[in-house]
Amino acid sequence: MSAYQYGMFRPVTQGLAPKAPAVGEAIRRVRQQKRMSQAELAQRARLTQATVSRIESGARRGDMETLALIAAALGLALWILIKRAEGVRLLFATVRPR
């Protein structure tokens, strides 16, 4: 029996991407914080409102290109959106020169 048959090894990519509902919830939270409607987000991202709705609800898993369009429309970098979906709170400090 090999180690793969015992489940000791997994492909490196397995488990790295956040689940679709988590990404959708992160998109919804940011959109609502910015007081933006689904229709407005869809227009800014050049997507349909139905696509945004399905991604937010977790019914559809957005590919990286679609998520990048949504992140840009929200004014975020894609990695920040993904980190928010993973539940990571990001803190940024402003540094003032002396």
Cα-based angle 67, 20, 24 (whole degrees, multiple of 5): 65
Task: Tell me whether residue 1 is in a domain.
Answer: no
Q: How far apart are CA 92 and CA 76, in angstroms?
A: 13
Total tally of structural domains belonging to the chain: 1
Encode pLDDT of 3-19 as tens digits: 444 444 444 444 445 67
Encode pLDDT of 27-84 as tens digits: 999 999 999 999 999 999 999 999 999 999 988 888 899 999 999 999 999 988 888 8
| CATH number of the domain to which 60 belongs | 1.10.260.40
**Owner of token pair 């937010």:** 56
Task: Tell me whether residue 60 is in a domain.
Answer: yes
